[in-house]
Amino acid sequence: MHNKFNFFIMKKNILIFGLISGLIVTAMMTASVISCYKTQEFEGNMILGFTVMIIAFAFIFVAIKNYRDKFNEGAVSFGKAFKIGMLITLIASTLYVVAWLIIYYNFFPDFMDKFTAHEIDQIKSKGYSVTETNEKIADLNSMKEMYRNPIVVVLYTYLEIFPVGLIITLISAFFLKRKHKPAGFAPKITG
C-alpha cells in the first residue's frame, strides 16, 4: 500500500511542478514574442528567455526536495531524482513547444522572416568579409527554409528549452540525492 501511495504522490508532484514550470516558460515566451514584434529587439529577449527558463526549471529542485522530504522518508536516489526532474522537464518543454506551435502558426507566421531579416542586418553591421557575410546569410536562409517543416519547428523548439531542464535536473539530482533518512526524521503527512 505504501508503494502505491508513494508512486501516486510522485506522479502528482511531477505533474504539479511540471505544469507550473511549463506555464511560467509559456507565459514568458508569449510575452517575449509579442515584445519582439513591437520592438524588433531579439537579443535582449533571448537573454530574458533563458533566464526565465532557469527560474521556471528551479521548480525541479523544489519538486525533488518536496518528494524526498515530505513523502519519501528523507531519502531519494540520484536515479529517482533524475527521473522526477526529467519528467518535469518533459512536461514543461512540451507545453512550451505546443504553445509555440499555436502562436507561430496562428498569430506570427512571419516570425522567421522578421528574425532572419534582423539577423542579416546584424551580420552586415559587424564588418565581416564579403565571403563570411555571404556564408552567414546563407546559413540563416537555410535555417529559415528548414523552419518551413513543422517537424523541424518542433525539434528546434525542444532543443531551445530541453537542455536547460536537463542541466538543472542533473544539478538537482546530484545535490538532493540522499540514501538514508536523517536521524530523527519524521515524514510530514499532510492531507
DSSP bridge pairs for 178: 76
Q: State yes or no: pLDDT of 182 exceeds 60.
A: no
* Per-residue confidence (pLDDT) for residue 3, from 0 to 100: 64
Rounded CA-CA distance 175/20 in Å is 22
16-40 average pLDDT score: 89
* Per-residue confidence (pLDDT) for residue 8, from 0 to 100: 77
Q: State yes or no: pLDDT of 1 exceeds 60.
A: no
Those residues with Cβ within 8 angstroms of residue 114's Cβ, 6 or more apart along the chain or in another chain: 36, 37, 40
Nearest to 169 by CA among 85, 108, 107, 94: 85
Q: 53, 159 in Cβ contact below 8 A? A: no
Q: State yes or no: pLDDT of 18 exceeds 50.
A: yes
Q: The pTM is what?
A: 0.85
Q: State yes or no: pLDDT of 183 exceeds 70.
A: no
Instruction: Give pLDDT tens digits for 84-106.
Output: 999 999 999 999 999 999 999 99
With bands split at pLDDT 50, 70 and 90, how would you rate the model's confidence at 156? very high
Nearest to 92 by CA among 49, 57, 64, 65: 57
- Residue-range domain boundaries for the chain: 2-108+157-176
Q: How many residues does the chain have?
A: 191
Which of left, alpha, beta for 76 (phi over 0: left; psi -120 to 50: alpha)?
Answer: beta
Q: How many CB atoms lie within 10 A of CB 7?
A: 10
Query: Of 25 and 9, which is predicted with more confidence?
Result: 25
* Per-residue confidence (pLDDT) for residue 14, from 0 to 100: 94
With bands split at pLDDT 50, 70 and 90, how would you rate the model's confidence at 38? confident
- Report how far apart the first and last C-alpha atoms of the chain are (Å, whole number): 17
Query: Of 184 and 108, which is predicted with more confidence?
Result: 108
Residue 159 Cα to chain centre, angstroms = 9
Q: Which of 125-139, 153-167, 175-189 has the highest mean pLDDT?
A: 153-167
Which of left, alpha, beta for 137 (phi over 0: left; psi -120 to 50: alpha)?
Answer: alpha
* Per-residue confidence (pLDDT) for residue 40, from 0 to 100: 73
